[in-house]
A and B are shown apart, each in its own frame.
Chain A
Amino acid sequence: MVFLFYFLSAIMILTALFVVFSKNPVDSVIYLIICFIAMAGQYILLNSQFLAVVHVIVYTGAIMVLFLFVIMLLNLNKEIILQKSKVTRISAVVTGGIFFLVMVAATRLTLEIHPRYAFDSKIGLVSEVGKTLFHEFLLPFEISSVLFISAMIGAVMFGKKDV
């Protein structure tokens, strides 16, 4: 199990680096897909089969397909070298660094498991996820669904030529 964890983590880190460093945008997307599949493997190691499969369906199967779609339609076939000014580059590095700092700070806090949500090996199974969502987090869950619907309607409105 520990070996699998390190194996998947190594794949994730390597492919995540390739996403940033590869020059061909299609290669980047494919590395990101591999990264997501490895992440699904991590979920399975945590016994969260439902989360793993939904992750594959939503992120790998839907969102990344749309990414690939856009890149194909823009026909970014040849390797492009981005020509950006120095100011843009430096500000991008600074923003990325600050974001990284925030992420590290956030993960430091999760090292201790909150006593109210003690680790339960069944937490990722579909029945448990359903019960938790529809009992404890019913209101946030419903509100987020309203948010999704409004986002969808908004996207349709933007997409229409004449409203």
Chain B
Amino acid sequence: MDLTLYIYKTIFLFIILLVTLVVAMYSTYGERKVAAFMQDRRGPNRAGPFGLLQPIADGVKMFMKEEIIPLSANKKLFILGPSIAMTTAMLTGVVIPWGGIITIAGREFSMQIADLNIGILYVFAMVSIGVYGIMIGGWASNNKYALLGSIRAASQMISYELAMGLSIVGLILTTGSLSLNEIVAQQHGMHWNVFYQPLGFLIFLVCAFAETNRAPFDLPECETELIGGYHTEYSSMKLGFYLFAEYINMFISSAVIATLYFGGYNMPFIDQIGLSPNMVTLLGTFFFFMKIFFFIFLFMWIRWTLPRFRYDQLMNLGWKKLMPLAIFNIMATGAYYYFTELT
């Protein structure tokens, strides 16, 4: 690998890392503002103008709190849990195409860290490893509520991973590729996959909510039944890591939804404006982030609108409704391509 590319990738990796963290940080602020708006309150408005420094204040507070490891907890695993949650949350951003091709000093650089030809599956692999963070943390706390919470989380995530995996098979049939970069490139000019795969998109969206443990699927941390769920025993920055990992997951899943179904960095009428290629790329990235922010808002909107599911309802929805629907989607897509290719 030549040196320029190496330096570029390293810098880009740090930028993505930073952007992910900042977006996740301000998602906490956004969530509180959205909640306040929906409940006719003001929300955070003390720290800085419009309370914009609130996330920083929260971060400092988290660091300053006393760190407690319960005596009966398994110390190694107690620390390992939040680390896994945070690491796997950050790893997924690597395969997402954040923009098109940018030209610096006559050389073309792709705004994607790694263009794997199995990009979607990589996302799934990271999601499936992410379960361990919650499971190990909940178990190591040696607390019944935490254990119940982590078992709920694990069974919920495994159940919805299946429906999620099946829902993208239809998408793969239409695009014929597993590479996220190629999927985005194919959606150029308003050929967004959501128009071809509406059912698949709906299933994917519901499963994304369940995978990130967001309301109405936030049973693992259902406070009326389980105190705090899997992070009952956690304090200080370890708790912060769990909460933060949730927001990072939300950001990344919004990015994945926008990439797979809403054209990624493509925007309408981009060919007609007649800008320079670099401007088009930057504008595309800006547009991509607008899409991501819309989906983050959707996550919050639904959280403060819908009440929580009951556990049996959750399992029924996952196994008896979403799975058959996803299989139907695969068969319908397959049949469509089979018969259109025949004629």
Contacts and interface: CB of A to CB of B under 8 A. Distances in A.
Note whether A and B form a binding pair. Answer: yes
Contacts of A33: 132
Interface string B124-165: 110111011001100100100001001100110010010000
Nearest to A40: B125
A53 B179 CA distance: 13
B112 to A, nearest CB: 16
Interface residues of B, number: 27
Most buried by B among A49, A54, A61: A61
A63 to B, nearest CB: 10
Given A26-B139, A68-B135, A61 B125 contact: yes
B320 to A, nearest CB: 13
Interface string A105-133: 00000000000000000000110000000
A69 interface: yes
A61 B124 CA distance: 9
**Interface secondary structure of A, over-half rule:** helix
B116 A49 contact: yes
Contacts, number: 67
Interface residues of A, number: 21
A65 B118 contact: no
B117 interface: yes
Interface in A32-69: 33, 49-50, 53-54, 56-57, 60-62, 65, 68-69
B142 A53 contact: no
Contact of A62 (B74, B122, B142, B158): B158
Contacts of A126: 117-118, 178
Contacts of A68: 132, 135-136, 139, 154
B12 to A, nearest CB: 21
Contacts of B132: 33, 65, 68
Shortest Cβ-Cβ A-B pairs, 8 listed: A61-B128, A56-B125, A53-B121, A57-B125, A53-B125, A72-B139, A49-B118, A53-B118
Interface of B: 74, 77, 80, 116-118, 121-122, 124-125, 127-129, 131-132, 135-136, 139, 142, 147, 150-151, 154-155, 158, 161, 178
